[in-house]
Structure 1
């Protein structure tokens, strides 16, 4: 079976030492990808005092701690930073990583963190409008000699993005669960489309929506990479009970033994999705992580391209 396997680490409720340990082990093991997320509060929001590291700095730490994997964020919130700042930060990390960086951008959804950290939380339609302008600006600053942009929310009168990414085809992802607008934005502006924590039947629906959007735009859907994030609740040994579905179980999860994980991932392979990222929530079951590396990872092709 051919699939690009990665890891996804929300930098919450973990020390930086633990995050570095996860990333470095994945890099050694041959995973294709590692990503962080972009939140001010841990998710789910149990205690506001639960630690949660900032996304850009966490991605830079990930880049500096690894040598082989693609590194990214799934996803940066379009409304947390000026699009030009996000574009420059991503290029900086790309140079830091030796050309291994990619980023995803989404519209944002976690209302408490918006309001309590001083951000407006506009209606969903406006958040998608700002996401669309952000995608256009980031893409242009990466690829065009000069960016002249006049939008409803942002204006760039002759910005020159320099340096450009080391990888001239540095991927820009769109991520989210939306069934219509998100696939359309991915088809129009992005190089990758990520859907988090959904079962195989929903992933197939989202990929169909992406293909339909590409057809309307006259774009080849094969140009767009696709991936899904799955919660990681696998057990290290067949007799273990500590990895039974937890309270925060979602349908897009990996549970059970290594063989059950292989079978579950096989269901996603059948949808046609190109990549799958196992997403950690603390506390990390280190024995299960090692079991995945030893027993599941070798079953799938993890090409670095």
Structure 2
């Protein structure tokens, strides 16, 4: 059966008051998006570096209360910021608040300012990936031990594109693989992922391929050529990034309907 094409929106928790993020999540659900994602940082990644910003886990819990149907989750949790067993419990709790709509997105971390200001060891790309590899089995084991456990199978989304360390983790643990690679590179990465899956006896078709859309796609006459190419290469979840300072009224939700129309055309 053909996997459906889906559209997510990442509401960056920056440059907007908390209620604006909650209202935006509700409006996106009403518009018909498939998933609303946050991110896991402590400071803005664009605009004023000292601007308004909120913590991920508690914000996601607020979105879980405010919505009823849309999937929610982080894009992505940073493995370095919390004990893996605690993070598993946090995710399980938000999953229950949401009624089983939580997507557990996780990655190894990269934003050095977060680490320095909050007192975490930044390490290296390799040590952070090794820590993620150690954490994922602990997280899954903790879910099995918790009372009550998550509501059903909580999808694990893993972000990154490294062929030697990240893609083997996706093959072993991931239900969704998220990256920002372009259409030309994606086919080669999927071949590598397929090889890692075959090595452990898993069908790569079990993994949903996710990628970051751009607000430039479909706007200003650019069209959806890049998204069409990503879709042709196998991508089925495309997520639009929005920031709280995208427009005079905050999140530029008016950009979203064109993507939903594109999705509906792909789904026939």
Structure 2 length as normaliser, TM-score?
A: 0.89
Q: Does 1:298 align with 2:268?
A: no
Q: Does 1:208 align with 2:194?
A: no
Of Structure 1 and Structure 2, the greater helix share is in 2
Q: 1:138 to 1:202 in 2, by over 3 A?
A: same
1:4 corresponds to: 6
Distance in 2, Cα, partners of 1:15 & 1:43: 16
Of Structure 1 and Structure 2, the greater strand share is in 1
Pick the aligned partner of 1:163 from 135, 145, 148.
148
Distance in 2, Cα, partners of 1:12 & 1:298: 27
Secondary structure, in 3 states, of the residue corresponding to 2:205? helix
Distance in 2, Cα, partners of 1:78 & 1:59: 16
Distance in 1, Cα, partners of 2:77 & 2:68: 22
Pick the aligned partner of 2:27 from 11, 25, 28.
25
Between Structure 1 and Structure 2, whose CA radius of gyration is higher?
A: 1
1:194 corresponds to: 178
2:227 corresponds to: 265
Distance in 2, Cα, partners of 1:59 & 1:211: 32
Following superposition, the deviation at residue 261 of structure 1 comes to 4.0
Distance in 2, Cα, partners of 1:207 & 1:283: 35
Distance in 2, Cα, partners of 1:34 & 1:74: 9
Distance in 2, Cα, partners of 1:192 & 1:203: 14
Following superposition, the deviation at residue 182 of structure 1 comes to 1.3
Secondary structure, in 3 states, of the residue corresponding to 1:128? helix
Q: 1:91 to 1:50 in 2, by over 3 A?
A: same
Structure 1 length as normaliser, TM-score?
A: 0.79
Alignment check: 8 A CA contact 1:4 1:276 kept: yes
Distance in 2, Cα, partners of 1:112 & 1:302: 41
Secondary structure, in 3 states, of the residue corresponding to 1:292? helix
1:180 corresponds to: 164
Alignment check: 8 A CA contact 2:13 2:243 kept: no
Following superposition, the deviation at residue 292 of structure 1 comes to 3.3
Distance in 1, Cα, partners of 2:132 & 2:191: 22
CA RMSD of aligned residues (A): 2.3
Q: Which runs of 5 or more residues in structure 1 are unaligned?
A: 145-159, 234-253
Number of aligned residue pairs: give it: 262
Q: Which runs of 5 or more residues in structure 2 are unaligned?
A: none
1:207-250 superposed Cα distances (whole Å, 9 cap, x missing partner): 222212112222111111221122324xxxxxxxxxxxxxxxxx
1:241 corresponds to: none
Secondary structure, in 3 states, of the residue corresponding to 2:214? strand
